[in-house]
């Protein structure tokens, strides 16, 4: 059972996303923020636990990335429902990050016939920034100046992910930084 814990955490995050949307629909942004925190913690600990238990696999890391996408899209949908006044402010930044993410996955598919999954340090910092931004939006209805900091982190993270994809000779996941690649 313990060896399945990383998968359980990934599945929890997949379920938490739609649950946040449901909570936003019924007017519970505080509970959305709580579920957001639990989802972020599950994202932090799934990989740590998998490595400690020696059950980290490419499949787990790939599904971790997919769960992240579902989770964060759902989190922004919850903000849009709970705080519709923020949509004009947030959508251009969200669209830019989404476009960069899609472009990187397309390049990875073109090069390796697999989706990108670098899990680099800058992406982890971006995830923490998203946590702060979405929590602020849900609890206060505000997003500035956090939005601009998170947008800068997101663009930098996507640029590094693209650089990692371009520098890899063969597909792999868990690349800490573009600077960790040889040659």
**pTM of the full structure:** 0.93
Of 58, 45, 55, 34, residue with least CA distance to 10: 45
**How confident is the model at residue 30, as a pLDDT?**
98
Paired tokens of 175:
């690349």
Question: Mean pLDDT per 10-residue run, the chain (183 residues)?
Answer: 95 98 98 98 95 93 91 97 98 96 95 90 96 98 97 98 95 92 81
Nearest-angstrom CA–CA distance, 175 and 96: 23
**How confident is the model at residue 173, as a pLDDT?**
85
Nearest-angstrom CA–CA distance, 141 and 79: 9
**How confident is the model at residue 33, as a pLDDT?**
98
Of 141, 132, 124, 112, residue with least CA distance to 29: 141
**How confident is the model at residue 62, as a pLDDT?**
87
Handedness of CA 140, 142, 148, 154 (dihedral sign): positive
**How confident is the model at residue 1, as a pLDDT?**
83
């Amino acid at each position: 059972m313990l060896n399945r814990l990383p998968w359980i955490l990934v599945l929890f995050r997949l379920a938490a996303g739609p649950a946040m949307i449901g909570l936003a629909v019924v007017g519970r942004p505080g509970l959305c923020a709580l579920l957001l925190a639990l989802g972020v913690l599950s994202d932090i600990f799934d990989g740590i636990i998998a490595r400690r238990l020696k059950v980290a696999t490419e499949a787990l890391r790939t599904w971790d990335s997919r769960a992240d996408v579902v989770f964060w899209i759902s989190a922004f949908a919850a903000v849009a429902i709970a705080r519709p006044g923020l949509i004009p402010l947030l959508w251009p930044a969200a669209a830019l990050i989404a476009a960069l993410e899609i472009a990187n996955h397309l390049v990875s598919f073109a090069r390796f016939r697999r989706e990108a999954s670098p899990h680099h340090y800058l992406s982890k910092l971006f995830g923490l920034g998203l946590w702060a931004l979405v929590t602020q939006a849900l609890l206060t209805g505000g997003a500035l100046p956090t939005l601009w900091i998170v947008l800068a982190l997101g663009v930098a993270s996507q640029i590094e992910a693209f650089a990692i994809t371009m520098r890899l000779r063969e597909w792999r996941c868990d690349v800490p930084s573009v600077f960790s690649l040889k040659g």
